[in-house]
Amino acid sequence: MYKAKQKEINVGEIIKPYISKWWWFLLSVLIMTLFGIFYIKTVAPVYNLQSSVLIKDAKKMSSASGDFGVLQSLGGLSSMGTNSIENEIEIFKSKQIVSDVLKKQNLQTSLYVKQGLHKLELYKTSAPIKVIIVNEKEVEQGPKKPIEINLKGNGFVLSSKEWDQEIKGEYNRTINLPFANVIITKNPDFKPATLNKLDKDHLFLTYNTFEATVDNYQEALQVNLVEREATVIALSIASQNKEKGKDFLNNLVYEYNHYAVKDKNKESEKTTQFIDDRIVIISKELGDVEDKKESYKSQNNIVDLQTEARINLQTKEVTKSKLLALGTQLELQNILLNFLNNKDLKDVLPVNIGIENGDAAKSILEYNTLVIRRNNLLQNATPENPIVKEADAQLLAMKSSIRQSLSKSITAINLAKNAAESELGNSEVKIGSIPAQEKVFRNIERQQQLKESLYLLLLQKREEAAISMAITVEKARVVDHAYALKKLVAPQTKVILLIAVLIGLLIPAVYIYLKTLLNTTIINKNDVAKLSSTKVLVELPHINKGDNDTVQLNDLSPLAEAFRILITNFKFLLPKKDSSKILYVTSTVKGEGKTFVSVNLALTLATPKHKVLLIGADIRNPQLQRYNIEKKNAKGLTDFLYNPEIELSEIIHQSKRNNNCDVIFSGTIPPNPTELLSNGNFKKLLDIFENQYDYIIIDTAPIMLVTDTLLYSEYSDVVLYVVRSEVTQKDFIEFSNNLVEEQQLKNVGFVINDVSANNFGYGNKYGYGYNATEKNWLQRLKSKLFR
């Protein structure tokens, strides 16, 4: 039965400590909420600024303006479409673009003004002054604490807790600070109304090194795809000043477009440069051919072709046209092949120069796109970067592919040219009558036509490249200009207050849990019931300071009611006898309230119908005299034990609190208490009063400290074993269990003393309905806080 009780889990008992301390939770939540509100007041508002841009399709842009194409169609590079948009995201967050934006906005410094419990950041029209960084000094980090600026007339005073002295300065003059040389000027755009009642002459300045500022903004900047399949990028950043954050995002998009246009123009510039170089060469070659033609005609006196030769030549015009086209293509493709072999991976190839090789032209566009992306990557990475290495490998593969395509095309052109020349040779055999000089003349003329067509083609392509540069469009189209979201990043009032409430609930809960977990003392009858099968007769309430600690006549207090319950319960343990009922009141150690129980039990039992005798048997440490100080040296039990012949009237004293109760005090403290208690006189004393009193209550010695009680324990009818709430150790219950099991004590019942109202076991509440006035919750809270 005892073991089964140990295993029971009483949910009510588990949550009872928390419910009983409800006011702890209320007070803790109130305090933490106030802390939360205070914290909210000390935190400056932080806004979330957002912008979105559409990255235009690179393939579409290249087809319209002659720019680079995408690499998706090239074998083995089909995944570059996804990587492309990821690359744009990285470019937005790159140090180069962020650095340019910070230089443009001068964001190394921030100005603040005191506003309530926090500082308000100033920017543009709300800032009375501007701080311009002339040059940075080589320092590991800027000042840790804000610099105070006091504006006075045409000057100002700078001070900091990190400096030994103040620095005075004038507007528009360089100031030598420990971390940088700066110039402070008045802001012509300042609007005093923006600061309203704030102290605009007392400002705070924060400074960061440029590198640290770049790192901070890179970390704060969020760049994400809006949707996986879309090319819309969302930009966001948190800032204490809305306008400052908006300007940063808008300038970020501007700088991105600036770099994109700059990169795109590089292709057109390279193409124009290549065409210009070729025009110079072709122009010279064309001049040489014309000079040769003029010289040949002069030497051979050639004025006009013979009609016969012209008729024969007309029949072969188709062949000549074919040879002309083939020669042009052969020359162009040889030029492009030589250019390809002489350039490294960082250079783009000329495009749209008129070659009739679709595969090669397409591959060149894709090759140029990858070259530009590789060069962009090298701005923020080293050649050893895995992405750069992968691009190098792809470029080499593409370069080889283009070379093979051109070589095959040249071979095919040569074969076609040879066939055409053979066909022309056959025709010329038929016109053998044409003079040899006419053949030479036609050859010279053919060379002239070839150079002229090539020259005109290059002029056309130069114009196209120039037009391409002139109409270059921005790569990122703004979908939404920067704007501030209504929801603040900080302080998050609801979250902070929720956390404050949770902490407020958690602190007392953890304290109560740990206190309960680490508690080794008896709290109420439930603890005793878990440790012992001995019945608990009553729980006695805690006596507040100033309240009576003894039961009065006609007393209706909770204490008096508790002792009435004790009387009712211990009567079930009493044996049936006509003589006096002998009650022992004992405890494990001193300080558990056995004397308190003895006195109040005696006063409660004593009525006109029941005479009660209270005997102080704790002769080593007498405590009964505490309730009657004038009897401190009165004769008592030890005097009778020494001399049984003593007059009983000398040791019996009537209680001043109740005429039906007599008291025998402990008497003089003896040197040999064990001998006195075992000499047989104690039994004689009980026999004397056996029929004179209805109840004899004996306040015995603590049973663990001395064996006195066990010397006469056989005379008891009932033993009231007192344990004190929050004092008696749980281990002591095992000691009492052993005494009961060994039958050294009989008819034992526990009395739980000094139990606070919050700790009573289920069902034990005293005073309700007996002239006890129940307080409302506000009165109870006041009594909890101010008792």
Residue 58 in this model has a pLDDT that exceeds 50 = no
Using 50, 70 and 90 to split pLDDT, how confident is the model at 721?
very high
Using 50, 70 and 90 to split pLDDT, how confident is the model at 568?
very high
**Lookup: tokens for 67:** 């720019």
Query: At residue 133, what are phi and psi to the nearest 5 degrees?
Result: -85, 115
Residue 763 in this model has a pLDDT that exceeds 60 = no
Q: Quick one: what percent of the chain has pLDDT higher than 90?
A: 22
pLDDT at res. 72: 37
Closest CA to 692 of 660, 665, 721, 719: 660
CA atoms within 13 A on the CB side of 148: 13
Tell me the C-alpha distance between 449 and 320, whole Å.
11
Digit-coded pLDDT (tens) for 124-164: 888 888 888 888 888 766 788 888 888 888 888 888 888 88
Per-chain mean pLDDT for the chain = 81
The region of weakest confidence among 274-288, 639-653, 723-737 is 274-288
pLDDT at res. 609: 92
Digit-coded pLDDT (tens) for 770-782: 444 445 555 555 5
**Lookup: tokens for 257:** 């477009």
The SS3 of residue 660 is coil
Query: At residue 24, what are phi and psi to the nearest 5 degrees?
Result: -60, -45
Residues forming beta bridges with residue 129, ordered by sequence position: 186
Residue 288 in this model has a pLDDT that exceeds 90 = no
Q: How large is the C-alpha radius of gyration of the chain?
A: 54
Task: Find the mean pLDDT for residues 762-775.
Answer: 46
Digit-coded pLDDT (tens) for 416-462: 888 888 877 776 665 664 566 667 777 777 887 887 888 788 788 87
Digit-coded pLDDT (tens) for 175-203: 888 888 888 888 888 888 888 878 878 88
Closest CA to 538 of 290, 764, 782: 764
Task: Find the mean pLDDT for residues 77-89.
Answer: 59
Query: At residue 146, what are phi and psi to the nearest 5 degrees?
Result: -60, 150
**Residue 487: in which H helix or E strand, if any?**
none
The position carrying tokens 């609930």 is 505
Higher model confidence: residue 16 or residue 1? 16
The region of weakest confidence among 240-244, 463-467, 586-590 is 463-467
**Residue 170: in which H helix or E strand, if any?**
strand 167-170
Tell me the C-alpha distance between 601 and 606, whole Å.
8
Using 50, 70 and 90 to split pLDDT, how confident is the model at 469?
low
The position carrying tokens 């006596």 is 543
Using 50, 70 and 90 to split pLDDT, how confident is the model at 75?
very low
**Lookup: tokens for 381:** 């990475």
Tell me the C-alpha distance between 58 and 66, whole Å.
11
CA distances from 641 to 77, 672, 681 (A): 113, 11, 5
**Lookup: tokens for 275:** 């065409």
The position carrying tokens 């030589």 is 338
Residue 760 in this model has a pLDDT that exceeds 70 = yes
The SS3 of residue 581 is strand
pLDDT at res. 681: 92
Task: Find the mean pLDDT for residues 487-504.
Answer: 89
Residue 272 in this model has a pLDDT that exceeds 80 = no
H helical segments located in 93-241: 95-105, 210-220
Domains located in the chain, CATH noted? 2-43+504-518 (no CATH), 47-256 (no CATH), 259-479 (no CATH), 525-786 (3.40.50.300)
Q: In this structure, how many other beta carbons lie within 10 angstroms of the beta carbon of residue 90?
A: 14
Number of alpha helices (DSSP H) and beta strands (DSSP E) in the chain? 24, 21
Residue 41 in this model has a pLDDT that exceeds 90 = no
| Distance from the first to the final alpha carbon of the chain | 42
Task: Find the mean pLDDT for residues 533-540.
Answer: 93
pLDDT at res. 68: 38
pLDDT at res. 194: 83
Closest CA to 390 of 34, 19, 739, 76: 76
**Residue 358: in which H helix or E strand, if any?**
helix 358-380
Task: Find the mean pLDDT for residues 506-526.
Answer: 88
Using 50, 70 and 90 to split pLDDT, how confident is the model at 583?
very high
pLDDT at res. 489: 84
Tell me the C-alpha distance between 541 and 72, whole Å.
87
Using 50, 70 and 90 to split pLDDT, how confident is the model at 506?
very high
Top-ranked range on mean pLDDT: pick from 71-80, 190-199, 372-381, 748-757: 748-757
Residues forming beta bridges with residue 607, ordered by sequence position: 610
Q: In this structure, how many other beta carbons lie within 10 angstroms of the beta carbon of residue 761?
A: 20
Higher model confidence: residue 514 or residue 119? 514
Contact 107, 251 (CB under 8 A): no
DSSP state of 490: B
